[in-house]
Amino acid sequence: MSRIGKKPVAMPSGVSANVEGQTLTVKGPKGTLSMPLLEELVRYSIDEGAISLTPVAASQRARAAWGMQRTQVQNLVTGVTEGFTKVLEITGVGYRAQAQGKNLKLQLGYSHDVNYAVPEGVDVKTPDTTTIEISGIDRQKVGQVAAEIRRWRKPEPYKGKGIKYRGEYIFRKEGKKK
């Protein structure tokens, strides 16, 4: 049994959920999100104040989908109420970032500046030149944007230069010995 799947997803006040065909739609103060349903594996029931999920069969595939679908429903509810944020930190001499409308200008030691076009539904702010805050209501989009920005210059293990997530530990290596 899935310990995660057993718990119903609580809906705070101001949040409403609706099942239309093969889609679950959640509306809240920050916006509307929807996801496709796996009705052949998981049964969804919307009560007042909670969404409950149960597996249709006792198969391995249904039990695996049960916990994952519950987590995705929880992400929808959290996204429309609070939103999600990822913070990236830039380390390195001359490395900096600057948000310009829907573009992010990165100087990462290349011979050219990197211009990253921020997709719709995601906000990027730069409180200072070495910090990038990525926020939005869709957890998958926020994580994908953070991963794409980080991919331009991953942190290296010798000096720790590059773009890292806030709180990420960079395993440091010792350099050459004489």
Q: Are strands 84-91 and 162-165 parallel, antiparallel or unpaired?
A: antiparallel
Can you give the residue range of the structural domain that contains 122? 84-165
Q: Are residues 70 and 91 in the same domain?
A: no
Share of the chain above pLDDT 90, in %: 71
Residue 44, domain member (yes or no): yes
Residue 103: CB atoms within 10 A of its CB come to 13
| 113 and 145 both lie in a single domain | yes
Final residue of a structural domain among 81, 113, 144: 81
Task: Retrieve residue 123's tokens.
Answer: 């906000």
Residue 21: is its pLDDT beyond 60?
Answer: yes
Whether residue 77 is found in the same domain as residue 142? no
Cβ atoms 43, 31 nearer than 8 A? no
Q: Please check whether residues 121 and 54 belong to one and the same domain.
A: no
Residues 160, 107 share a domain: yes
Are 77 and 94 in the same domain? no
Note whether residue 63 is domain-resident: yes
CATH of the domain at 56: 3.90.930.12
pLDDT band at residue 161, thresholds of 50, 70 and 90? very high
Query: Considering its fold, how many domains does the chain have in total?
Result: 2
Q: Under 8 Å CB-to-CB from 84, ≥6 apart: which residues?
A: 78, 135, 136, 137, 138, 139, 142, 143
Give the model confidence (pLDDT) of 61-82 as tens digits: 888 889 899 999 999 999 999 9
pTM: 0.88
